[in-house]
Amino acid sequence: MTDLTGAAGAAGRSVPKWRRQDTTWMLSLFGTAVGAGILFLPINAGIGGFWPLVVMAILIGPMTYLSHRALARFVCSADDPNKDITAIVADYFGPGAGRAITLLYFLAIYPIVLIYGVGITNTVGSFIQNQLGMTPPPRWLLSGILVAGMMAVMLAGEKTMLAVTQWLVYPLVAILIFLSLYLIPQWNLAAIRQVTPLGQSLHVIWLTIPVLVFAFNHSPAISQFACAMKRDHGRDAAAKSDQILKNTSIMLVGFVMLFVFSCVLALSPQQLAEAKVQNLPVLSYLANVNDSPFISYFGPLVAFVAIVSSFFGHYLGATEGLRGILRGSVARDESAMPDSRLNALIAGFMFVTTWAVAVLNPSILGMIETLGGPVIAAILYLMPMYAIHKIPALAPYRGKLSNIFVVIMGLIAVSGILYGLF
């Protein structure tokens, strides 16, 4: 059972000493996971009662760590640091399957990038209008400035992105802790004494696990993270990625679940259901029911930081997927289409489409997350386990109890999403 806790290093390799750069990557992965979804997570996860939430809190830690560890090991199994997940999938499963998985990978992540363009525009526009009492700029101009600003950080390079993410995540963590403690006097411990029937509890856990999977999901950044580990640590890349991902998972579960439990105990199940009907983030609902200017002030700040930090990781995954699609179809000849030109075209496409959707302001967040959900769960939980079973380079990871756990939880997540969809 030691493997289930992640105590063992990758294939028995020694783990290099922890460095400042490792902390930076840990914060970047944390920022990718803690997107706008955290504002709705307490509502979705707490609506079924306190004790089912406790069970989910126990499960989500090993689920998050073991699934992302397997995906990182999959990428690290190819020694070439220039080979990301799209190239490795093609190498292992053949060009046809590689193109199909790369396309699905892109389609699962790219819509979330578009929605973050909408979210950041709405958040900043609302803040200017409601908190500052000013008239916001025209939507086309405001969205263009915000999307261009986020993309400028990405185009400046990996080091700039990691540095900006680091400085975004620190205040995000601080605010999450502060809000969690701020709500303690409002806790209603009656929820602890309410025992949910076993059948209802299992049903709630089944349908809520997909919500937790995607609230803690940082898979869009894993491929580039693993490639960076290969460049920096060579044959120790898998062991180092295991170490960073373990600490990331501990950080995620600790800070996020503290926030979730604090919000759930501060609200009744009826209030959580009302917030869900109103489609409000938990901080907005708390501000309404408590008439708290403190929460209404910090709500937009949390949303802004969460969206920007998560945008970076999802942008990495989306551009990686699109590059893999183009290199496998219309831009195979690198002499005719150099990487610099291809990257410029991809950046232009991402900017124009994200800007256009931000201007249009569609109300499709739930639909896109639902449609992309099964693909992300399959790629994150099931594809690496299949590769471990089939690919010789991953043979050292076979025969582990953690593999069975990841497959079972992946199937539960996919089935729960499909049940909710149909």
Report the alpha-carbon distance of residue 417 to residue 422 in Å, rounded.
9
| Residue 28, both tokens | 């970047």
Question: Residue 229: CB partners within 8 Å, gap ≥ 6?
Answer: 72, 76, 237, 238, 240, 241, 244
Report the alpha-carbon distance of residue 14 to residue 9 in Å, rounded.
7
* Residue 6 clears pLDDT 80, i.e. is over it: no
DSSP tag of 35: S
Provide the 10 A C-beta neighbour count for residue 190: 10
The boundaries of the domain holding residue 104 are 16-421
Report the alpha-carbon distance of residue 167 to residue 153 in Å, rounded.
13
pLDDT of residue 371: 61
Please, what is the angle between helix 85-93 and helix 222-233, to 10°?
Answer: 90
Specify whether the CB–CB gap between 110 and 322 falls below 8 A. yes
DSSP string, 227-259: HHHHHHHGGGHHHHHHHHHHHHHHHHHHHHHHH
| pLDDT tens, residue by residue, 220-267 | 889 999 999 999 998 899 999 999 999 999 999 998 899 999 988 888
6 belongs to a structural domain: no
Task: Output 347 or 339, whichever has higher pLDDT.
Answer: 347
Q: How many CA atoms lie within 13 A of 166 on its CB side?
A: 13
The mean pLDDT value of the chain amounts to: 84
Task: Output 363 or 45, whichever has higher pLDDT.
Answer: 45
Report the alpha-carbon distance of residue 85 to residue 74 in Å, rounded.
8
Question: Residue 338: CB partners within 8 Å, gap ≥ 6?
Answer: none
| Residue 295, both tokens | 């929460």
Lowest mean pLDDT among 3-12, 151-160, 239-248, 336-345: 3-12
* Residue 8 clears pLDDT 60, i.e. is over it: no
Dihedral sign of CA atoms 247, 68, 200, 47 in order: positive
Q: What percent of the chain has pLDDT over 90?
A: 31
| Residue 383, both tokens | 């594809």
8 belongs to a structural domain: no
Average confidence (pLDDT) over 346-353: 95
To the nearest 10°, report the CA torsion of 161, 330, 219, 124: 50
Question: Residue 72: CB partners within 8 Å, gap ≥ 6?
Answer: 222, 225, 226, 229, 238, 241, 242, 245
Q: How many CA atoms lie within 13 A of 111 on its CB side?
A: 19
Whole-model pTM: value is: 0.84
CATH of the domain at 325: 1.20.1740.10
Report the alpha-carbon distance of residue 371 to residue 365 in Å, rounded.
10
Report the alpha-carbon distance of residue 260 to residue 211 in Å, rounded.
13
Provide the 10 A C-beta neighbour count for residue 201: 17
3 belongs to a structural domain: no
330 belongs to a structural domain: yes
Q: Which of 165-179, 297-311, 342-356 has the highest mean pLDDT?
A: 342-356
pLDDT of residue 364: 53
| Residue 45, both tokens | 């996860």
Q: pLDDT class for 4, splitting at 50, 70, 90? A: very low
DSSP string, 84-151: -HHHHHHHHH-HHHHHHHHHHHHHHHHHHHHHHHHHHHHHHHHIIIIIS--PPPPHHHHHHHHHHHHH
The Cα-based distances of 11 to 2, 26, 281, 366 in angstroms read 13, 22, 42, 40
Average confidence (pLDDT) over 32-60: 82
pLDDT of residue 418: 77
Q: Quick one: which of 118, 136, 119 has its CA closest to 127?
A: 136
Report the alpha-carbon distance of residue 333 to residue 218 in Å, rounded.
32
* Residue 217 clears pLDDT 50, i.e. is over it: yes
345 belongs to a structural domain: yes
Provide the 10 A C-beta neighbour count for residue 179: 22
178 belongs to a structural domain: yes
| pLDDT tens, residue by residue, 155-179 | 888 788 878 887 888 888 888 888 8
| pLDDT tens, residue by residue, 351-398 | 999 999 999 887 655 655 566 677 888 889 999 999 999 999 999 999
Report the alpha-carbon distance of residue 42 to residue 413 in Å, rounded.
18
* Residue 11 clears pLDDT 70, i.e. is over it: no
| pLDDT tens, residue by residue, 88-114 | 998 899 888 888 888 888 988 898 898
Q: Quick one: which of 105, 103, 144 has its CA closest to 121?
A: 144
Dihedral sign of CA atoms 365, 114, 118, 381 in order: positive
Number of domains in the chain: 1
| Residue 276, both tokens | 């869900």
Q: pLDDT class for 297, splitting at 50, 70, 90? A: confident
pLDDT of residue 392: 92
9 belongs to a structural domain: no
pLDDT of residue 421: 65
pLDDT of residue 190: 74
Task: Output 117 or 132, whichever has higher pLDDT.
Answer: 117
1 belongs to a structural domain: no
| Residue 200, both tokens | 């209802």
